[in-house]
Amino acid sequence: PVRRPTEEYTPWNAHAFGEAETMVPRIDHPAKCPVVHWEHLQNETRVVKQRRGSAEYQKWAATKKKSPFLVQDYWQRSMFLGSEYTAEWDRVCLQHSTLEMASHELPNGKRIVGNVKGHPAALVVRFPGHAEEGGLQVEKALANPWHALQDNPTMWCAVYLAERNHFQGQPPWPIVAIIENNIPSQYLKWVKAILLSVFQKVFELGEVANGETFSALARWEYQIPNTRYHTWLVNNIKSPIYGQETSALYIGIPRDHFKLQRLMYIKRGFRSLVKVPEPRPNCMVLMLSRPPGKPRYVIDQHSGTFKGVVKEMCDAGLNIHSAELDETQPLKEHFKLISQAKMLLGVHGAHLANMIWMDEGSAVVEVTVRYGHCCDPIPVEYMGFHAPPCTETCKPYDYMVYAMMAQQFGIRWFYYDPLYVEQLVCPLGADCSDMDNKDTSMVIIDGADLAKRVKGVLDLLGLCRR
């Protein structure tokens, strides 16, 4: 039976740890610290020495008004519960698939043949076109494994259609994927890397021979018209799937009923394909940065930079690494880096989905954007560094997707509240009707305090050895 949602949820608070002396070994840093991957810190030139926002907003923010954690009952707004919900998602995949094809003509005129024994099975996938046609927003969808599935119905249903063949053992499974249309080359490598974690081979259109034969042949294509959240559409309604995923375990729905679990297949496939470098760095802490100028850029209150945050980690004797991940870097390199970390740090955002590459028992510390999260969305009259704060009754803080993901993957999740979330500014001519604190430019923290809390969490979980 489906339980009613737990209305209040009290997650692990990183602020509660680190006051006592920890057993975490101090790392002496004769070499350069931090260890910077892909040299992203070299490009940080922006320094913010003051808190930007109106005097009224800053005074109100000083009260540290923050939203309570709450697991909301998204299910009241959805027509699917439990296994029915799962079956509906599976129907979405199946309804837009052509199964057991005898043959199929590819766009380049070549024809492939099915129902020939002794050959591998094949799935032909066609990625949709423009986003306004329900297409793949490649630039946004492939920078991490979460968006690769959550924002990409083609990718997710490809994994599902491979899974439904009930292949035994670890992926990659003995099935071939054929990408039927062109994808920009800078993103094609990400598409292929993810698909290769579950498919035996992945062919581009020009790599398939005319008359090539397969034991079974299926095809997937899905166009979802006129909806911004093009993967949230189920049975012609905009269902709050994203929120349901985050609250699934708390209301008693088995974890294998949700797309998050299908990330596990991708993880298993990668672990069989890519070796984690050994020996691993002792007690490695990896802090992820967002690009300067993008929303939710984390800076230290004293230095006004992200560099200042990681410097405090070095000064505390932590083995701190930092990286800014993007789609120009090979996915296998992301996997190799993150799988070595004992702890992942970062502000709320999809880059935290890379936690799936970590070992069970590892930790994630997420910097929240709870402060000032009262109006959601925030009306335009409250935007700008001269505007008053929006002080309505605070909306519950439901950005719990990474807490949910951590629980699915056996990782301990902790939150860390910032000192200040910068007041929102609506860019000239932009549509800001749905902006909330996730769109804030700067998130200001005390780097030294965060370093102390990180050591406390590492000590609590026994993740480091002397």
- Model confidence over 390-415: pLDDT tens digits? 887 777 777 777 887 787 788 999 99
Residue 8 has pLDDT above 60, yes or no: no
CATH of 281-383+395-461, one of 3.40.50, 1.25.40, 3.90.25, 1.10.150: 3.40.50
Over the chain, what is the mean pLDDT?
Answer: 78
Instruction: Locate 207 and state its tokens.
Output: 């790599």
Please write the tens of the pLDDT for every residue from 422-447.
999 988 888 888 788 888 999 999 99
Q: Rounded CA gap, 211 and 353, in Å?
A: 41
Task: With cut-offs at 50, 70 and 90, classify the pLDDT of residue 454.
Answer: very high
Please write the tens of the pLDDT for every residue from 248-280.
444 444 444 455 667 788 888 888 888 888 888
Which residues pair with residue 213 across a beta bridge? 113
Instruction: Locate 291 and state its tokens.
Output: 């690009």
Mean pLDDT of 131-138: 42
- How confident is the model at residue 76, as a pLDDT? 40
CB burial of 127-166 (b: ≥16 within 10 Å; e: otherwise) equals bbeebeebbbebeebbbbbbbbbbbbbbbbbbbbbbbeee
3-state class of 42 per DSSP? helix
pLDDT: which is higher, 141 or 229: 141
| Percent of the chain residues past pLDDT 70, beyond the cut | 76
Question: How much is the pTM?
Answer: 0.85
Strands across the sheet containing 12-13? 12-13, 412-416, 363-367, 343-347, 284-288, 319-323, 35-37
- How confident is the model at residue 329, as a pLDDT? 85
- How confident is the model at residue 143, as a pLDDT? 56
pLDDT: which is higher, 214 or 132: 214
* CATH 3.40.50 placement within the chain: 281-383+395-461
Q: Rounded CA gap, 268 and 258, in Å?
A: 17
* C-alpha atoms less than 13 angstroms from C-alpha of 389 in its C-beta half-sphere: 26
Q: Rounded CA gap, 248 and 75, in Å?
A: 10
